[in-house]
Amino acid sequence: MSRVITVTSGKGGVGKTTATANIGAALAALGHKVVCIDADIGLRNLDVVMGLENRIVYDLVDVVEGRCKLRQALIRDKRLEDLYLIPAAQTRDKNAVSPKDMVRICDELRKDFDFIIIDSPAGIERGFKNAIAPADEIIIITNPEVSAVRDADRIIGIVEAEQKGPAKLVINRINMDMVERGDMLAVADVLELLAVELIGIVPDDQAVIVSTNRGSPIALEKKSKTGEALRDIAKRLAGQEVAFTSADGAGGLFGRLSKMIRVGSKHA
Amino acid sequence: MRSLASLFSPRNRSAQTAKERLRLVLIHDRSSLPPGVMETLRDELIEVISRHVDVDRAAVRLEITQDGRAQRLLADIPLKRIDQPLPDL
């Protein structure tokens, strides 16, 4: 069964594109056939984060407007043979694609791929609607910070109203030192506020910028803790039970205890 | 200077402030009920109920509570105590 998973956030700059590239790479490394679609028309970036910017010939808008076949717009990853990218157009705007186009393209991709991961643009306008239209599941990326959490809540509400829920949450860029000082929302705080299922906790790590500089997903770096956190998200998506541990950045004894309670009762 | 106790008290740290502020903001974001409309709603509720029974107006409380992602409008409407005299015999 093929699954279409859309990665979104409301607020910009929380790490959607990096998460998409890494979850896609991690799923492909697990042996699944994966295609990542950049739905941010006009502000294309998934290509550079995946390190595939030099291989682009056709893009999503070329497919929609019939200038090429869908398979001609599929770019194969350099490292993983089961990972592909469909890039966004850079010189067009988001109205060049409609939600119907996205559903049609994804239905065609379902025949060949296990996972279709869509990188949504920020905001709740056309580009976002395009990104969630074909989705079977939604992953929301947030940071432990007031504006990102507020926007995540708004998106969770929209996802529920569109009957695409329940959304799953990734808390990205958590800084354990700040959580332990009491100067950053803990995992338990964010879960209590948003009341949504957790699927990943990713630490704030400068190594992510280094890997993005190189165009090589950190999820493929075996020794990286951040890479492991991202690989764990892929495993959970693929149906494996991967427990959250204190090393995930719950932060502090109290944070850890309350997180365990929260995670344990999330379906209650 | 902060006392040692306040240094360890989570109440005074910015994460706690963030959480409390977010809790209130999310309640109103989700319900699309601005604080001003809550006041109107409260006044109108009192008016309707007062037609049938005496209400302690000053003590009426109306609030939105959260249960997971579901929201609930809770009204606490104390009734005025009526001292009923014994019937004449």
Question: What mean pLDDT do residues B66-82 have?
Answer: 87
Q: Can you say whether residue A17 is alpha, beta or left, with left for phi > 0 and alpha for psi between -120 and 50 degrees?
A: alpha
Phi then psi for A205, rounded to 5 degrees? -145, 125
Give the pair of three-digit tokens for residue B6: 């306040």
Q: Given CB atoms, is B56 within the 8 Å cutoff of chain A? A: no
Q: What is the pLDDT along chain A (268 residues), one digit of tens a residue?
A: 899 999 999 999 999 999 999 999 999 999 999 999 999 999 999 999 999 999 999 999 999 999 999 999 999 999 999 999 999 999 888 899 999 999 999 999 999 999 999 999 999 999 999 999 999 999 999 999 999 999 999 999 999 999 998 999 999 999 999 999 999 999 999 999 999 999 999 999 999 999 999 999 999 999 999 999 999 999 999 999 999 976 665 544 444 444 444 444 433 3
Question: 3-state secondary structure string, A124-177?
Answer: CCHHHHHHHCCCCEEEEEECCCHHHHHHHHHHHHHHHHCCCCCCEEEEEEECHH
Give the pair of three-digit tokens for residue A55: 């291989």
Contacts of A150 in chain B (CB under 8 A): 22, 25-26, 29
Question: 3-state secondary structure string, chain B?
Answer: CCCHHHHHCHHHCHHHHHHHHHHHHHHHHHHCCCHHHHHHHHHHHHHHHHCCCCECHHHCEEEEEEECCEEEEEEECCECCCCCCCCCC
pLDDT band at B8 (very low <50, low <70, confident <90, very high): low
The number of beta carbons lying within 10 Å of the beta carbon of residue A48 is 16
CB A64 within 8 A of CB A101: yes
Report the residue of A124, A143, A150 to disrupt the B interface, i.e. the one with the largest count of B CBs within 10 Å: A150
- Strand duo A83-86 + B61-67: pairing: unpaired
Angle at Cα A230 formed by Cα A229 and Cα A236, nearest 5°?
A: 90
Would you call A183 and B16 a contact, using CB atoms and an 8 Å cutoff?
Answer: no
| Cα–Cα dist A216/A211, whole Å | 5
**Closest approach of A121 to chain B, Cα-based (Å):** 22
Residue of A nearest to B31 (CA): A157
B55 belongs to a structural domain: yes
B6 belongs to a structural domain: no
Residues constituting chain B: 89
B21 belongs to a structural domain: no
B52 belongs to a structural domain: yes
- The CA distances from residue A266 to A153, A195, A198, B76, in Å, are 16, 8, 8, 30
Q: Smallest Cβ distance to A146: which of B10, B22, B66?
A: B22
Q: Buried b / exposed e across A33-46, counting CB within 10 Å, b at 16+? A: bbbbbbbbbbebbb
Domains by residue range for chain A, with CATH: 3-264 (3.40.50.300)
Q: Which residues of A touch B (CB under 8 A)?
A: 145-146, 149-150, 153-154, 156-157, 160, 178-179, 181-186, 189, 192-193, 195-196, 254
**Closest approach of B44 to chain A, Cα-based (Å):** 29
The DSSP output letter for A11 is S
Would you call A182 and B10 a contact, using CB atoms and an 8 Å cutoff?
Answer: yes
Query: What per-residue confidence (pLDDT) applies to A42?
Result: 94
B4 belongs to a structural domain: no
Give the 3-state secondary structure of residue A182.
Answer: coil
Query: What per-residue confidence (pLDDT) applies to A261?
Result: 45
The number of beta carbons lying within 10 Å of the beta carbon of residue A190 is 27
Give the pair of three-digit tokens for residue A211: 């890997």
ipTM here:
0.83
B89 belongs to a structural domain: no
Cβ contacts of B58 within 8 Å, gap of 6 or more: none
- The CA distances from residue A208 to A14, A182, B54, in Å, are 13, 24, 65
Task: Give me the DSSP letters along A20-44.
Answer: HHHHHHHHHHTT--EEEEE--TTS-
Query: Exposed, middle or buried, B57 (CB in 10 Å: 0-12/13-18/19+)?
Result: middle
pLDDT tens per residue across span B9-57: 555 799 999 999 999 899 888 887 777 888 899 999 999 999 999 999 9
**Closest approach of B62 to chain A, Cα-based (Å):** 21
Give the 3-state secondary structure of residue A69.
Answer: coil
B16 belongs to a structural domain: no
Whether residue B84 has pLDDT greater than 80: no
Q: Smallest Cβ distance to A185: which of B12, B19, B25?
A: B19
Residue of B nearest to A190 (CA): B19
Query: What per-residue confidence (pLDDT) applies to B69?
Result: 84
Query: What per-residue confidence (pLDDT) applies to B38?
Result: 86
Q: Which domain holds residue B74?
A: 33-79
User: For chain B, what is the domain count?
Assistant: 1
The number of beta carbons lying within 10 Å of the beta carbon of residue A51 is 20
Q: Given CB atoms, is B61 within the 8 Å cutoff of chain A? A: no
Would you call A153 and B30 a contact, using CB atoms and an 8 Å cutoff?
Answer: yes
| Cα–Cα dist A148/A113, whole Å | 32
CB A39 within 8 A of CB A120: yes
Give the pair of three-digit tokens for residue B66: 């959260």
Write out residues 13-32 of B within 8 Å (CB-CB) of A: 13-16, 18-19, 21-23, 25-26, 29-30
B27 belongs to a structural domain: no
